[in-house]
Amino acid sequence: RTIVVSGIQPSGELHLGNYFGAIRQHIELHQQYESYFFIVNYHALTTIADREALRRYTFEAALTYLALGFDPQKAALFVQSDVPEVTELAWIFYNLIPVSTLEKGVAYKDKVAQGLPANAGLLNYPVLQAADILIYGGTLVPVGADQKQNIEICRDVAQRFNRTFCAPDQPLFPLPEPLIREEVAVVPGIDGRKMSKSYGNTIGIFDEGKTLRKKVMAIVTDSTPLEAPKDPERCNVFALIKLFADEATRSRIADAYRQGGYGYGEAKKELIRLIEAHFAEARERRRALLRHPDYVMDVLREGGRKARQRAQEIMEQVRELVGLNYTT
């Protein structure tokens, strides 16, 4: 049985990388499979210590899913902390995984390499993520390429738990598979590096008007003169155009690049039009939802209730297997 799970951090505005790398697949998959999508506010605490910002980003993430077509009748969308059992499971997992594995975590390593202080939350981040996935019995995790390592750690944790506490023919946790779509595994940002909140190179899903124009115009290109032929495959603007354009538009623009006489400015204008058209409907829906914040809260509450029920069932078994249900 396929169970789809994935999380997104409420640590800033959601951007095109989040959309193409993850959210779009979530919206597709939840129509068909039992799915759990969570807004990981515990994880966001590794970088945010601002109650109001955390609340705002959490709400905005929920709005984004609903605006993009998430149907609360079909699956659960919820806030991670509404299932506090994940932290209990994470604690159990901590005891199965060597610190040396976690020290190889990319997010942790990067921070340390930059000479920045890393808190214990950041080091242990992948363990909580493993709990997020395994507590719902997740089997399929649609994510961007940057999450590959975390899913590997999750598989490692699941195996260690099964080996340590379960009968060989009765593993509790299935080993989840990452679902990383090749074409969108790494969406580039304004400066050509991976689009990421921490690089400040993002284009927001709902950016429009002046903000959108400013960001797109800032996309880094080389200095090939307007008349000269250009290689679309080496251009950051085209990399984004490719994500939005249909086949015909894509090849028309690629041809224009190769012929020459087509400038990056023109390509950027095309990209703005594509972005605006792609999200036009979602933008309207978002505006409508903003007038009904209670509805958004109800969706989260109900999603959290469903998810927690499932989590508690698995935790019963975990506590039994580990030997924690001493008095019950």
User: If binding is defined by CB under 6 A, does position 30 make contact with ligand TYM?
Assistant: no
Q: What SS3 class is residue 78? A: strand
User: If binding is defined by CB under 6 A, does position 8 make contact with ligand TYM?
Assistant: yes
User: Residue from 141, 235, 274, 296 that binds ligand TYM (CB under 6 A)?
Assistant: 141
CB of 135 to ligand TYM, least distance (A): 10
Is residue 194 part of the annotated active site? The answer reads yes
User: If binding is defined by CB under 6 A, does position 143 make contact with ligand TYM?
Assistant: yes
Site for ligand TYM in 246-275 (CB under 6 A): none
Structure tokens at 10: 């409420």
- Residues facing residue 78 across a β-bridge: 38
Residue 72 or 144: which CB sits closer to ligand TYM? 144
Residue 129 or 162: which CB sits closer to ligand TYM? 129
Per-residue binding string, ligand TYM, 34-63, x by CB under 6 A, is ------x--x--------------------
Burial annotation 192-208 (CB, 10 A radius, 16+ → b, else e): eebbbbeeebbbbbbbe
User: Do 138 and 4 meet the contact criterion of CB atoms below 8 Å apart?
Assistant: yes
CB of 182 to ligand TYM, least distance (A): 11
Give dist(CA 19, CA 151) in Å, integer: 19
Give dist(CA 223, CA 225) in Å, integer: 6
Instruction: Identify the sign of the CA torsion 100, 181, 47, 202.
Output: positive
Residue nearest to ligand TYM (CB): 21
Helix or strand run (H / E) with residue 165: helix 148-165
Catalytic residue among 109, 111, 215, 230, which? 111
Is residue 269 part of the annotated active site? The answer reads no
Structure tokens at 255: 């041809």
Structure tokens at 238: 């085209």
Contacting residues toward ligand TYM, per CB under 6 A: 5-9, 17-18, 21-22, 40, 43, 129, 132-133, 141, 143-144, 146-147, 150, 184, 186-187, 194-196
| Residues labelled catalytic | 111, 194, 197
